[in-house]
Amino acid sequence: MSYLVLARKWRPKTFDDVVGQEFITLTLKNAILSNKLAHALIFSGPRGVGKTSTARILAKALNCINKNGDTLMCTDDPCTFCTEISEGNSIDVQEIDAASHTGVNDVREIIENVKYLPSSAKMKVYIIDEAHMLSQAAFNALLKTLEEPPGHVLFILATTESHKIPATIQSRCQRYDFKKLTVTEISDKLRQISNDESIEIDRETLLTLAKEADGSIRDSLSILDQVIATCGSKIEYKRTLEVLGLLDKTHLNSLLKNILDKDPKLAVEILHNIINHGVIHKKIADEIVNIIRNAVMVKICGSGSSLDLTDDEVKELEEFTGNNSIEDLEMLFSLAIENAENVHKSSFQELSLESMVIKLATTRNSVPINEIMSKVTALAKKISSGPDMAKEINAPAEEVVEKKKEIVKPEPEIKKIVEEPPPIVEDETVPEPETSPEPEIEEPPRIVRSETFTEFVRQHNAILGLHLDKAISISDEASDLRILFKENSINYEYLQRKNSVVSLRSHANEYYGKELNIRIDFNNQEEKINKDNPGKPSIKDGPAVKDALNIFDGTILKTKSVKKE
């Protein structure tokens, strides 16, 4: 006799055997007992959660001649009808695979047989598995029969993709949505089956099998069968991981820890170690996404999260994520999902996986929004009003001057040369106009001072002097006083203000003893031209941009011009 796999051997035989679908089984039992069962049903849900098994159980409950209390069917000594239905030999209960019977002719054959009474059972039951595979013409042919079938017929349409069933069909049926099973529900069922099969298996391995089944009890039994074939009646955790090609939890936790510690070197080394153990690249990418997702949920909900994790796993994740904010973990989660998709699509999956780990391990932590707003506010004030240093340190201007003097750099040699007032010219006269001769006017004597112009200004206006001190040269050129800066800076912008120019002109007239116009420039100004806007300084050299880069420790990677509409 051939071996009967666990998924078939332990297929549910009664409503009570169905795992994780209590509300559906309770509704069907009540409908049978009250004689209010609909003539057409849709069982939709993921694979391996009990749709077809529940349809068979419902067929047995309708036709069983030895009903046993609330189970609605015989259990210990099954009747002929229950036995035939369980074995798939009943004439009156037909299972039709819609994937191989998609045409309208197959449906017409069903419609022709519907009008005949059941041969021996109470009701005819048609179970159409994978019903979404029927063609549009087949669905159209079935419409009238589904709407008004004979009283002795029940249609059950089982499908994993209910959205592909036309709305006209769905409106004629009662729909029951089967859900995925939880890890706990699957592991408990596997524990029960293992005990009955005399298989020794620990809780950690059971949880691993349950997680790998992804909500399908049938898949979990198929996986258990595979492990039993290798390990026999004593199943070990590490051996199970090798058989199924799964990630060791220890390696995965180490990988997460180094990602959160921003150590790309160790993270890549652990990744290569995992790959060398034979784990496929797609599986590694998926597991990285899952563990970061678990870390996010543990950070948000703590030990009260609804994740299928043990207390030790929750504690480990809490330790790993202690110094990380929810925003940082959520950003890593989004980045992990994006890169995992790239790994699945890539022809160079190992390279894509390495890139994924490096990106996760080198991503900078996010800055809280309140901190950003405070910096932006400070930057806006600085740009709008200039660096009023006396106010910033909340001290009188005299104290600022004294502190500044301690770090004042010596004036450049060129500054001393150009700032020395020209020699006094005695008896210099103004040429007489051609129209009206005037008496010769003697120019007032030039004032010779020992201090530089910058020091002179600082004595009268400390803030103005501090900005002027940043100039690389100050020269008296005929009727102009030219103040030159190295670049377009905040000091340059401050002196360009109208009130600053007025003050400078007043101090210059007093210092040099003559009327002077103030010219304020910065070095190589002609070369710093925005290519998109000829004649204008480049936006990169603006003081606001420089301050923003300093505050946020940033770097300009690319600039883009915006056309004004």
User: The tokens of 419 are what?
Assistant: 């700032």
Say which CATH architecture domain 249-362 belongs to: Up-down Bundle (1.20)
**Average pLDDT for 157-177:** 93
Buried b (16+ CB within 10 A) or exposed e, 335-349: bbeebbeebeebeeb
Q: How confident is the model at residue 169 (pLDDT cuts 50, 70, 90)?
A: very high
Three-class SS of residue 64? coil
CATH value of 6-177 in 3.90.190.10, 3.40.30.10, 3.40.50.1220, 3.40.50.300: 3.40.50.300
Report which of residues 461 and 406 the model is more confident about: 461
**Average pLDDT for 320-329:** 82
Domain ranges of the chain: 6-177, 183-244, 249-362, 386-421+444-557
Q: 38-72 pLDDT, tens per residue?
A: 999 999 999 999 999 999 999 999 988 887 666 67
Topology of the domain comprising 183-244 = Helicase, Ruva Protein; domain 3 (1.10.8)
**Average pLDDT for 213-238:** 91
HSE value, Cβ hemisphere, 13 Å, CA-based, for 517: 5
Q: 83-122 pLDDT, tens per residue?
A: 888 888 888 999 999 988 888 888 998 898 888 888 888 8
Contact 301, 326 (CB under 8 A): no
Kind of pairing between the strands at 124-129 and 153-159:
parallel
pLDDT value for 552: 65
Kind of pairing between the strands at 40-44 and 174-177:
parallel
Neighbours of 443 (CB within 10 A): 14
Do 183-244 and 249-362 agree at the fold level?
Answer: no
Contact 271, 354 (CB under 8 A): yes
Q: How confident is the model at residue 355 (pLDDT cuts 50, 70, 90)?
A: very high
pLDDT value for 69: 64
Q: 414-463 pLDDT, tens per residue?
A: 444 444 555 554 444 445 555 555 555 555 444 545 468 888 888 888 78
Which of 137-151, 507-521, 538-552 holds the top average pLDDT? Answer: 137-151
CA separation for the pair 534, 449 (Å, rounded): 43
